[in-house]
Amino acid sequence: MKQVLVLGGSGFVGGHVCEKLVRAGYRVSVATRKSVHARCVMHLPGLTVLECNIHDEAALARAMTGMDAVINLVAILHGSPAAFVHVHQDLPGKIARACAAKGVLHLVHISALGVNSEQPQAAPSNYLRSKAAGEALLVDTLGWGKGGIGSCGLTVLRPSVIFGADDKFLNVFARLQALFPVMPLACADARFQPLWVEDVASAVLASLKQGLEQAPAVRVYELAGPQVYTLRQLVQFAARSSGINQGRGRPVIGLPLWMGRIQAFMLGLMPGEPVMSQDNLDSMQLDNVAAGGLPGLEALGIKASSLQAIGPQYLFAEPAAQGLLGLRNRHR
């Protein structure tokens, strides 16, 4: 039975990945600073929770002892430039060195759509620059740079924005529109190609199997849903699907970038994780859609699920309270 270490297994995507791995017969370990953080996956049969500071390279290497593969799902959406480098660049470097030292056969790494690892500094945001630099560091550290051949294979998955029952994207916009009569929105015309979290987890599983069964190599996939939406359309979809205003949603008012930056600054002063940050606005200057030059879900044997089919199932919590008008508007 193959042993897999999952980093970030307690997060939104991690829970779905761990469940698929366990169902597929892998022996799974989840590394987390405190075991209580992994309570969402503790119930899975045969899964082991390891208390480990994954940013401590020696501790990370110890956690990889005996592992056949590693999956890195660790990422942040908000933070300082130094925080992005710490998580998206420094950590992948530590992971790669530990994989090489412990004889790990394959590493699956989650990156982001729009990343260009050949020109990291050309990206418009700290998020994308750090993701790109992390990819490049993985390739070089594992010995695949400049025509080299490493002993540890690498699969890089670049997803668009991910939706699902516990997402912090569509759910957040739905909650905001339940509170306010209008929705001011920066970068309203930014484009996304959202995909279901279950499809992402299936892609992780498929690429893991491929990496363990085939000769070591570097493989990169763009993961995207079947349809492109603007941010405005996604926000409206979230409201209508959740039954806001009897299924009609709220008016969305597009803001110019300078007003969006003021809005992001004000939101950043609120307690908790910000809904929108300055760096998010910078990222949205680049469309979050598949370029088409790399293989996608189809190459991994996965048919992308539709947001129109999946979204209303978890966004719409109180169907009986919304009446026939809401039902009609959600299905028009």
What is the 3-class SS of the chain, one letter each residue? CCEEEEECCCCHHHHHHHHHHHHCCCEEEEEECCHHHHCCCCCCCCCEEEECCCCCHHHHHHHCCCCCEEEECCCCCCCCHHHHHHHHHHHHHHHHHHHHHHCCCEEEEECCCCCCCCCHHHCCCHHHHHHHHHHHHHHHHCCCHHHCCCCCEEEEEEECCEECCCCCCHHHHHHHHHHCCCEEEECCCCEECCEEHHHHHHHHHHHHHHHHHCCCCEEEEEECCCCCEEHHHHHHHHHHHCCCCCCCCCCEEEECHHHHHHHHHHHHCCCCCCCCCHHHHHHCCCCECCCCCCCCHHHHCCCCCCHHHHHHHHHCCCHHHCHHHHHHHHCC
Give per-residue pLDDT as tens, 237-278: 999 998 988 888 899 999 999 999 998 888 777 777 777 899
Give per-residue pLDDT as tens, 66-75: 999 999 999 9
Instruction: Report the candidate in 24, 60, 68 with the shortest Cα–Cα distance to residue 44.
Output: 24
pLDDT at 198: 97
Give per-residue pLDDT as tens, 141-176: 999 988 788 899 999 999 999 999 989 899 989 988
Say yes or no: domain 3-163+194-223 is CATH 3.40.50.2300: no
Q: What is the Cα–Cα distance from 71 to 49, expressed in whole angstroms?
A: 15
Q: What is the Cα–Cα distance from 287 to 168, expressed in whole angstroms?
A: 20
Query: Is the predicted pLDDT of residue 119 greater than 90, yes or no?
Result: no
Give per-residue pLDDT as tens, 30-50: 999 998 888 889 899 999 999
Mean pLDDT of the chain, nearest integer: 91
Poorest-confidence range of 219-223, 240-244, 286-290, 295-299? 240-244
Percent of the chain clearing pLDDT 90 (strictly above): 75
Percent of the chain clearing pLDDT 70 (strictly above): 95
The confidence band for 317, taking pLDDT boundaries of 50, 70 and 90, is low
Q: What is the Cα–Cα distance from 43 to 223, expressed in whole angstroms?
A: 29
Query: Is the predicted pLDDT of residue 206 greater than 60, yes or no?
Result: yes
Supply 180's token pair: 């306010």
pLDDT at 6: 98
In the chain, the amino acid numbered 279 is D
